[in-house]
Amino acid sequence: MGVNERDKILLGLGTGVLLASSLRVFVAGAYSSLEKTFFYGVNFPSGLGIILLILAAILVGKMSRKAGAVLMAAYAVASLATDATEYTHLIAAFTIPIALALVKELDMKYLTMGIVADLSLRVLAVGGEPLDFPHTRVILGVLILLGAFALWKEEGTLKKPGFGLYAFAALLELGLIYPNAVMRYSGITVYYLPHFIGYSLVIGLAIIAGPYLAKKPGVASALLIVGVATLFVKPASLIGLPLALASAIALVESAKGSRGGVIGAAYLFLVATLALGAYVGRDIGLPFMEDRLEALILAASVIYALASYGGSTEVRLPNAKEIVGPLLGLAVVSVIVLALFNVGPTYVEAKKDVLIWSYNVHQGFGPYQGTFNGYELINLLKEQKPDIWAAQEVVGGMIGNGYQDVPLMISAYLGYAYEYKPAVEGTYGIAVFSHWHMKTESELNLESVGQARPAQKVTIDELGLTIVNVHMGLNETERAMQAEELLKFAESEPVAQIIAGDTNAEPDEKAIEILTRDYYDSFEKRPPYTFNWGNIDIENIDYILLKKDWPAKVKDYGCLCDVEVSDHRPIWTVIELP
């Protein structure tokens, strides 16, 4: 391998990882920042990130390659130093146009190496965000630094990417390169590590296959749209979306000739905003977007196909080593992960005294600066070892949190079984984790005036226990309405002995009065708070309620009020089963 060839590979690896990572961090940071501004009136820099993205789109065509290398290195160093997305997303705003400028110049085969490298990092992070775990953060930073080093050695100016490449980036940011997102989009609510690993290999093959479709852009355009359209006929999208991904990569060469970089950057921001609206549309003024993610992905695919129409189709196909290398790396990482983590639930013998948690995990974010909380959450659970955990705001692959897969991480690291009830678009909702076999009895979205609010009823036969897990609304009148519906849900057969969750209701509210007709609070004395965001908003809103005629005994209870992994605090009860 010549020196020039080696530098191209390094640049391709760095570019692919930089593009995927900076897209995730930009959107996650802006979303986390927006949440604080909207809910708490705190002026975090979400608007500044948008301005910087547009500014970078203007400047990139006038930027020297050495300046681009410095900004790449700055992103790598920031990633090594912190996962505080509300600040690093400001750097990501600059590195997205730089990554796309490099995509414009790179042979497609080198780009696919970089995207597969990012996929490998996702596998190594067990479906989490690579920035969130020390080992993957270091590898990510090193790969981007190596790419920056290769770019630093080159003279000249970066070429300005046009609308077509921003349209490509928008499609990637809608989740096609994330195995967990595609599986969740396809309607799969429960899976474990071997399923995730197996489907990661499918996604890796789709990425590598991209260049082979590039010589027939018309066919690739048609396959892209047909593949995405399978989202409307789940689970056919398990096949259709990898096909669409391969087609999207195939059209990169055709998209390179398009103009309109500033418009492209604005379009990328618009698509990301609409995608966030699929989950929290009523909160950010986009109610029409709720549960419309499939339509958005299809529309983005059509726009990308049109933006790529009539472009160049010259492409250098990868040789055998360039195909085997990335796939072998992905396979080696997969074997390591399968060897080190739980490949399925690790069951324990039934027992009388059971430690039950209720804990809202804030969409995979810590309460401040948008830091990813998966690593801290896993360490907390390792230390505290709850037997059963009713979890709220659980994400399985949502654009706003970097496509983390919390159920997969928890099951792989700690051996829990889980039952997942998405509230919207298959990737955001509630889950029950347990050391014992479970089955979902029923589930529903409560009648809401705001965002979708889910409830699930799960039975653990080995304990003779049925639990309802719930996340209720933000409006007091809405909560009272939901409490009536929830009580009927809990008392339908099989009757739930426990209702646990984030009710968003204080103890003296009508909603709690309704629920405590037939259930009682397992806390004889309420904790000082169960929700605390920087002492700006302090509330007592999380509960573990027990059926009044159930002959179980509360042996102990408490709140880990000094834990700041989420904006909520874990509450727990030890119950002696009858």
499 three-state secondary structure: strand
pLDDT reported for residue 46: 61
Token match 């939901």: residue? 482
Half-sphere exposure (Cβ direction) of 322: Cα atoms closer than 13 Å: 24
pLDDT reported for residue 104: 96
Q: Which residue has the higher pLDDT, 52 or 322?
A: 52
* Percentage of the chain exceeding pLDDT 70: 97
Own/partner long-range contacts of 322-327 (Cβ < 8 Å, ≥24 apart): 322/109, 322/113, 323/208, 325/113, 326/112, 326/113, 326/116, 326/117, 326/120, 326/204, 326/207, 326/208, 327/116, 327/201, 327/204, 327/205, 327/208
Task: Fill in the DSSP letter of residue 469.
Answer: E
pLDDT reported for residue 32: 84
In whole angstroms, give the CA distance from residue 282 to residue 474: 12
The 3-state DSSP composition of the chain as helix, strand, coil percent (nearest 5) reads: 55, 15, 30
- pLDDT of residue 38 exceeding 80, the answer is no
**177-215 residue pLDDT tens:** 999 999 999 999 999 999 999 999 999 999 999 999 998
Q: Which residue has the higher pLDDT, 367 or 70?
A: 70
Task: Fill in the DSSP letter of residue 230.
Answer: G
pTM of the predicted model, to two decimals?
0.95
**416-435 residue pLDDT tens:** 999 999 998 889 999 999 99
Mean local confidence (pLDDT), 341-369: 94
Residue 537's CB is within 10 A of a number of other CB atoms, namely 12
CATH topology of domain 343-576: Deoxyribonuclease I; Chain A (3.60.10)
Q: What phi and psi values does residue 395 have, to the nearest 5 degrees?
A: -110, 140
- pLDDT of residue 44 exceeding 70, the answer is no
Q: How buried is residue 536: exposed, middle or buried, by Cβ count under 10 Å (0-12/13-18/19+)?
A: exposed
Half-sphere exposure (Cβ direction) of 529: Cα atoms closer than 13 Å: 15
Q: What is the 3-class SS of 531-569, one letter each residue?
A: EEECCCEEECCEEEEEECCCCCEEEEEEECCCCCCCCEC
Least confident interval from 31-45, 343-357, 454-468 = 31-45
- pLDDT of residue 367 exceeding 90, the answer is no
Structure tokens at 5: 């060839």
- Report, at the CATH architecture level, how domain 3-338 is classified: Up-down Bundle (1.20)
Rg of the chain (C-alpha set):
24
- 276 closest CA partner among 175, 177, 176, 374: 175
Structure tokens at 98: 């730089």
The set of residues, in sequence order, having a beta carbon less than 8 Å from that of 206 and lying 6+ positions away, is: 242, 243, 245, 246
Q: For residues 367 and 531, is the Cβ–Cβ distance under 8 A?
A: no
Mean local confidence (pLDDT), 247-271: 95
Q: What phi and psi values does residue 531 have, to the nearest 5 degrees?
A: -135, 130
pLDDT reported for residue 536: 79
Mean local confidence (pLDDT), 534-549: 93
Least confident interval from 272-281, 488-497, 510-519, 548-557 = 272-281
190 three-state secondary structure: coil
127: left (phi over 0), alpha (psi -120 to 50) or beta: left
- 446 closest CA partner among 407, 474, 418: 474
Q: For residues 362 and 393, is the Cβ–Cβ distance under 8 A?
A: yes
Residue 340's CB is within 10 A of a number of other CB atoms, namely 11
- pLDDT of residue 550 exceeding 90, the answer is yes
Q: How buried is residue 309: exposed, middle or buried, by Cβ count under 10 Å (0-12/13-18/19+)?
A: middle
**103-134 residue pLDDT tens:** 999 999 999 999 999 999 999 999 999 999 99
pLDDT reported for residue 42: 60
pLDDT reported for residue 312: 66
- pLDDT of residue 455 exceeding 60, the answer is yes
Mean local confidence (pLDDT), 83-101: 94
525 falls in which pLDDT band (50, 70, 90)? very high
pLDDT reported for residue 247: 97
In whole angstroms, give the CA distance from residue 154 to residue 193: 42
What's the chain's average pLDDT?
A: 94
Return residue ranges of the chain for CATH 3.60.10.10: 343-576
- pLDDT of residue 8 exceeding 90, the answer is yes
The set of residues, in sequence order, having a beta carbon less than 8 Å from that of 45 and lying 6+ positions away, is: 33, 86, 87, 90
Query: Could you tell me the end-to-end alpha-carbon distance of the chain, in angstroms, rounded to an integer?
Result: 70
Return residue ranges of the chain for CATH 1.20.1250: 3-338
- pLDDT of residue 35 exceeding 80, the answer is no
In whole angstroms, give the CA distance from residue 254 to residue 491: 59
3 falls in which pLDDT band (50, 70, 90)? low
Least confident interval from 316-320, 467-471, 493-497 = 316-320
**274-331 residue pLDDT tens:** 999 998 887 777 889 988 999 999 999 999 999 998 766 677 888 888 889 999 999 9
The set of residues, in sequence order, having a beta carbon less than 8 Å from that of 126 and lying 6+ positions away, is: 193, 196, 337, 341, 405, 408, 409, 412, 413
Helix (H) or strand (E) run with residue 459 in it:
strand 453-460
pLDDT reported for residue 41: 65
88 falls in which pLDDT band (50, 70, 90)? very high
Strands (E) across 245-337 are located at none
Residue 508's CB is within 10 A of a number of other CB atoms, namely 8
Token match 């589930």: residue? 443
